[in-house]
Amino acid sequence: MTLNALLLALAATALLGVTIVVVRDRSRAELVLFVLAGITALAALTLDLHRLAPAGAAATSEFATTLAGFGLVLNLAIMQLAAERAETRHSLLRSIVLGLLGLAGALISAAAVFGLSGTNNAIAAGFGVVLILLILVIRRLDLSPLAAGALAAAALIGSAIVLTFLFEQSSGPILLRLAPNMGAEARAALERMLADTRWFGAGAGTFAAVGRIYQSDAGAALTAPTTATAIFAGMGAIGLAVSVLTALIALVRLFFGALQRGRDSFFPAATAACVLFALVQSFAGSGLLHPAAILCLAVIVGLGLSQSVSQSGSR
């Protein structure tokens, strides 16, 4: 299990590196953005249809919710790309069509995240939307560094207040406070498991195997309710802290890269919003435990990091 987790991590890292190299050209970056936005919007549409059906597919809802959150942000970036094209020499008709497609994808994704998923997942997506809009406002109004810093500080304080309120709404281990509702027996088993976890955990990818020790019902598998819980049980507090710190460093790098990028700022801005959504949602759901979601996020991060510094293509 640990070997599988290691190979998945290596595959995601390799994919991120390849993406950084490939999408340095702006036309390729746009193509990757279009593909990502389309795939994630399709996943959101699947979630919409399943949830509206009499018997929804609960097994795929967390994974689809994660992709729908990415799709919401990526399609907002498509709309911004269309607006940037309309302001330049590009065809107005093509820009309008592109903007409408982005709007359709954003609406489909928003319906899945805000209307058909849990409250905490919706709040995580809200953080991502607020971040991409914050970057857009700072750039469009051409705010001074002092004004931009004050606005960013206000947004950071507001986010901290919202997160504090969410974590204080329930009791128990902090890693389970944003988790979806579960049975009392499963929650008790998870609490015992987390209490016994050491600094370096039991090994990456071993949550299911270790969970059998704490199960009172041998027929029911103990699954990780959130991504953060799985990381903590597998790699301990050290692994979780390193993961969160890595995400925060990437978030800060992308945020400032978006402010410095120019009219192509929607690439790093959308990636920063996706990273923020993934960071918050990892405490509220288990969608990021699916390999497809991990690989999708790797491509998104590679796209944002490459275009936050790339100078090729038209500016």
- For residues 193 and 199, give the distance between their C-alpha atoms in angstroms, rounded to a whole number: 13
Helix axis angle, 26-52 to 2-22, nearest 10°: 130
Least confident of 66-75, 108-117, 293-302: 108-117
- For residues 249 and 88, give the distance between their C-alpha atoms in angstroms, rounded to a whole number: 33
Percentage of the chain with pLDDT > 70? Answer: 93
* 315 pLDDT more than 70: no
Closest CA to 303 of 247, 262, 257: 257
* 174 pLDDT more than 80: yes
Q: Mind listing the pLDDT tens digit for each residue in 211-238?
A: 888 877 655 677 888 999 999 988 989 9
Q: How far is CA 119 from CA 122, 166, 180, 183, 187, in A?
A: 5, 10, 10, 19, 19
Outline where the chain has alpha helix (H). 2-22, 26-52, 61-87, 92-110, 119-140, 145-167, 184-196, 207-211, 227-260, 266-281, 291-307
Banded model confidence at residue 61, pLDDT cuts 50, 70, 90:
confident
Mean pLDDT: which of 56-70, 100-114, 191-205 is highest?
A: 100-114
Confirm whether pTM is higher than 0.75. yes
* 51 pLDDT more than 80: no
